[in-house]
Amino acid sequence: MEDCLFCDFDNDELLEEGKYCYARRDGYPVSEHHTLIIPKRHVASYFDLEEPELLDMHQMLVKMKARIEGWDATVSGFNVGVNAGKDAGQSIFHVHMHLMPRRKGDIDNPQGGVRGVIPSKRTYVRKTRAPLNQGGPD
């Protein structure tokens, strides 16, 4: 698609290419080695991807995770995320998956992880719940 930042994947930021997707660095990284997994087909929403694209993106995600861990021994965790829709924070309407390496101590309290998209919901106290299938509908 004309004027789509992610439809042009033949650039210096290309890290790896698969049949249906490719990986490149994020232009505004949250952390060092923040990587994007992007389908080659121009699709706005994650929910409109076809199964072969989803499978290829998952395989690329696993491959890039291993590569990042090989590049940087300080990486001790990852956040994986997709913004689907303007109200979810999507700003480029060509679906892309974020692979964000995390390191011990990169923030004071990492509890809640991706829940931090709504800052007041990031930290929480776990409530005691009844065991599954106890007192609720089947």
Superfamily, domain 14-104: HIT-like (3.30.428.10)
**Residue from 131, 64, 128, 130 nearest 101 by CA:** 64
7-56 per-position pLDDT tens digit? 977 677 799 999 999 999 999 999 999 999 999 999 999 999 999 999 99
Q: Which residues are the active-site residues? A: 96
| Terminal-to-terminal C-alpha distance of the chain | 47
User: Cβ atoms within 10 A of the Cβ of 20, count?
Assistant: 18
**Dihedral sign of CA atoms 57, 59, 61, 63 in order:** negative
pTM comes to 0.86
41-94 per-position pLDDT tens digit? 999 999 999 999 999 999 999 999 999 999 999 999 999 999 999 999 999 999
**Dihedral sign of CA atoms 71, 75, 77, 81 in order:** negative
